[in-house]
Amino acid sequence: MKKRLQSYVGVIACVLLPILGNAQFNFGLIGGVANYQGDVAKDLTDVQETHFALGGSLGYRISPELDIKAQIVLTKLSGNDANYTERQYRGFKFESNIVEFAGILDYYVLGSSTRSSTGVFVPKFTPLVYAGLGFTKVDNTAECFSSDCINNVIDPPFPEKDAKSMLFTVPFGLGFKYDASPLLAFGIRGGYRYSFSDYLDGISKAANEGKNDWYFVLGANVIFYIVPKETGGF
């Protein structure tokens, strides 16, 4: 049994060591904007409800094509029926400061090796696609401002009892990356976050129940490589 276990460990080591030996850690800073699509947004994007987004990431590149990373994004989402004449009678609005935690897998379409056949660093541009899994913490404050609510003709429908403060999300999107030096890269990426919930805005039964909410993040990022590309890695 002991010899068999040693054999398994040996095989696993033979597979992983070449990969881990070339792997690179990196960390990044993210700055951009976010917008929301849900019960209080009539159009795909309401420019009036766009907010700044900030974040950071810690990545681990396991091959020229693949990079895995842990990512955090902080932003604000909001929506307001006052932006649409035909919805002002309803009078719903919300604001939510959100914190997104996600694990992301980047796939570099053209690969991301930046070394020539002689080992010299060569700047490189590559498009990418990404997808992941995560959680988004929300603290939405949904309310109504219609005259019926203000004058207590109807009971305010918020907060809804099933509203949650932590939502499971799936981020996915595309972008590009430009490796400018062995230690530095720049990128732009945009993508949707599907929330698997109709309570991203705290509103469901009082509006379009059953249609889950989304949000979108578009941003630029700066990536710092911990291991210079000219001395190690891909």
CATH architecture of 24-225: Beta Barrel (2.40)
What percent of the chain lies above the pLDDT cut of 90?
42
Convert the pLDDT of each residue in 134-191 to its tens digit. 999 998 788 888 776 766 555 667 777 778 889 999 999 999 999 898 889 999 999 9
Cα(172)–Cα(121) distance, rounded to whole angstroms? 30
Cross-strand pairs, 186: 178, 222
Q: Which of 10-14, 55-59, 188-192 has the weakest average pLDDT?
A: 10-14
DSSP β-bridge partners for residue 94: 79
Domain residue spans of the chain: 24-225
